[in-house]
């Protein structure tokens, strides 16, 4: 499938920056030891491949998904073969005592890249998944940072999100709070991160769902009024690696907007996607109509689609990689922008957040409103919009 054309592009984003620095990238990777956390997710796999193909001295990959880890190894062996350095994978939960024992037994790395996250807006629908999002996105990050400092790691990278800029949903806000915790640790270790667009056809994404709907002969449903920026899986890996290797302390990398990177709606991608498969999109007026028409329409090389306006909690009207208050460097790279952050630590807020979340967890019960109110304390201009509707209520 021609991925670039599906997301409305004809050129890859970061080729000039990668090619101009390839000797330096390969030299650093070839003489370094890496730990990739969350390495079996879509972005984690892309980052792992970018490191592996440049022959690192050591590459350890940790992920909670045993099945995805198996596929990652098969993919790497089938694509690149083997390296002289040490390559091992570990099916571990970063928040577990088993992971802590693993770090205690080894822990010797030059670079730690954390790609683990709860990334879905739908994760804010209930207070229990929301609390796990905080644990994964904020406290697991802070824990692995503390361990990296203790073990003398040279550089720590973790992925943020474009949704952390002026956040309107809990996922984006959790990543913004994570960035605040990173700032505190940046006094003791060099940290960089990245905000970037949707990764096209990443696991669990709406576009990945298109593949599933076709395989299961089900209708395609997408919002017609939501437009997003998209990068390919390989571009996501390149962006993370560039930030990890070349980002200065507290830098946030992001893709520069250009003719090669522009907004496109999910509905437009769905139409292009079906065209590549040899189908014409047939627009339906309801979910029920779309379900009923699958079999008769596919006989005519048409596919039922139901395109609607978005009305669910947490959807942002537009995407942005930075705010008006952030300082930008748009000259160091051709297609990468850099947010330059001064050292600003809001210690009292961070301590309050730790205390409040710890108290809620120790009590063993909490409401979503408890967490939303705390997020507003952490981010006073948090533009959370509660509509009472969530993505799980739709096809």
Flag whether 44 is in a domain.
Answer: yes
pLDDT score recorded for residue 390: 53
pLDDT score recorded for residue 310: 77
CA separation for the pair 34, 86 (Å, rounded): 10
- Distance of alpha carbon 131 from its chain centroid, rounded? 18
Within 10 A of 280 (CB to CB), how many other CB atoms are there?
13
Flag whether 298 is in a domain.
Answer: no
**What are the tokens at 30?**
């070839």
CA separation for the pair 182, 39 (Å, rounded): 20
Backbone torsions φ then ψ of 199, nearest 5 degrees: -90, 115
Which of the 8 DSSP states describes residue 285?
A: S
Q: Where are the alpha helices (DSSP H) in 159-232?
A: 170-185, 206-215
CA separation for the pair 209, 202 (Å, rounded): 9
**What are the tokens at 376?**
């507003």
pLDDT score recorded for residue 261: 72
What does pTM read for this prediction? 0.88
CATH number of the domain encompassing residue 189: 3.40.50.720
Q: Which residues pair with 253 in a beta bridge?
A: 194, 338
pLDDT score recorded for residue 231: 87
Flag whether 282 is in a domain.
Answer: no
* Terminal-to-terminal C-alpha distance of the chain: 24
pLDDT score recorded for residue 325: 85
pLDDT score recorded for residue 387: 61
Within 10 A of 124 (CB to CB), how many other CB atoms are there?
25
Reduced to 3 states (helix: H, G, I; strand: E, B; else coil), residue 240 is helix
Based on the structure, what is the number of domains in the chain? 1
pLDDT score recorded for residue 63: 97
Q: Which residue has the tokens 């670079």?
A: 111
Burial class (CB in 10 A: 0-12, 13-18, 19+), 279: buried
Within 10 A of 23 (CB to CB), how many other CB atoms are there?
9
pLDDT score recorded for residue 206: 77
pLDDT score recorded for residue 153: 98
Flag whether 181 is in a domain.
Answer: yes
pLDDT score recorded for residue 17: 96
Per-residue pLDDT of the chain (395 residues; tens, 9 = 90+): 588 888 888 888 999 999 999 999 999 999 999 999 999 999 999 999 999 999 999 999 999 999 999 999 999 999 999 999 999 999 999 999 999 999 999 999 999 999 998 876 777 788 999 999 999 999 999 999 999 999 999 999 998 866 656 677 888 889 889 999 999 999 999 999 998 778 887 777 777 888 899 999 999 999 888 888 888 899 999 999 999 999 999 999 999 876 667 788 889 999 999 999 999 999 999 999 999 999 999 889 999 999 988 766 555 555 677 888 889 999 999 999 999 999 999 999 999 999 999 999 999 999 999 999 999 999 998 877 666 665 556 66
| Residue whose C-alpha is closest to residue 102's, from 43, 153, 61 | 61
Which of the 8 DSSP states describes residue 343?
A: -
Domain extent for 31: 1-199+230-262+317-395
Flag whether 107 is in a domain.
Answer: yes
CA separation for the pair 61, 111 (Å, rounded): 12
Cβ neighbors of 350 (< 8 A, separation 6 or more) are 180, 181, 184
- Distance of alpha carbon 22 from its chain centroid, rounded? 24
Flag whether 338 is in a domain.
Answer: yes
CA separation for the pair 183, 185 (Å, rounded): 6
Backbone torsions φ then ψ of 113, nearest 5 degrees: -115, 120
| Residue whose C-alpha is closest to residue 345's, from 138, 186, 183 | 183
Flag whether 216 is in a domain.
Answer: no
CA separation for the pair 325, 307 (Å, rounded): 36
Flag whether 269 is in a domain.
Answer: no
């Amino acid at each position: 499938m021609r991925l670039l054309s599906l997301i409305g592009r004809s050129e890859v984003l970061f080729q000039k920056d990668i090619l101009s620095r390839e000797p330096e990238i390969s030299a650093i990777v070839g003489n370094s030891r890496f730990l990739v956390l969350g390495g079996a997710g879509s972005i984690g796999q892309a980052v792992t491949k970018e490191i592996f193909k440049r022959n690192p001295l050591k590459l350890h990959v940790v992920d909670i998904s045993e099945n995805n880890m198996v596929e990652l190894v098969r993919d790497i062996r089938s694509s690149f073969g083997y390296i002289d350095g040490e390559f091992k994978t570990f099916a571990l939960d970063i928040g577990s005592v088993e992971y802590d024992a693993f770090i205690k037994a080894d822990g010797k790395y030059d670079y730690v890249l954390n790609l683990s996250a709860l990334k879905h807006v739908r994760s804010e629908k209930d207070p229990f998944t929301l609390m796990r999002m905080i644990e994964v996105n904020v406290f697991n990050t802070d824990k692995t940072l503390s361990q990296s400092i203790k073990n003398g790691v040279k550089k720590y990278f973790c992925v943020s999100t474009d949704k952390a800029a002026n956040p309107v949903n809990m996922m984006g806000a959790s990543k913004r709070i994570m960035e605040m915790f990173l700032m505190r640790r940046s006094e003791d270790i060099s940290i960089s991160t990245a905000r970037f667009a949707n990764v096209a056809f990443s696991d669990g994404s709406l576009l990945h769902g298109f593949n599933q709907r076709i395989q299961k002969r089900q209708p395609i449903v997408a919002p017609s009024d939501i437009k997003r920026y998209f990068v390919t899986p390989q571009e996501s890996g390149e962006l993370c690696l560039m930030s990890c290797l070349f980002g200065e302390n507290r830098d946030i990398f992001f893709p520069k907007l250009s003719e090669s990177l522009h907004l496109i709606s999910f509905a437009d991608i769905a139409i292009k996607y079906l065209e590549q498969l040899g189908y014409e999109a047939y627009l339906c007026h309801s979910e029920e109509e779309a379900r009923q028409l699958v079999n008769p329409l596919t006989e005519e090389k048409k596919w039922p689609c139901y395109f609607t306006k978005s009305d669910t909690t947490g959807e942002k009207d537009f995407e942005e990689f930075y705010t008006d208050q952030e300082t930008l460097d748009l000259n160091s790279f051709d297609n990468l922008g850099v947010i330059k952050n001064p050292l600003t630590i809001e210690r009292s807020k961070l301590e309050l957040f730790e205390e409040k979340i710890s108290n809620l967890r120790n009590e063993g019960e909490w409401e979503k409103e408890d967490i939303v109110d705390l997020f507003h304390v952490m981010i006073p201009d948090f533009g959370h919009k509660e509509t009472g509707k969530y993505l799980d209520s739709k096809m």
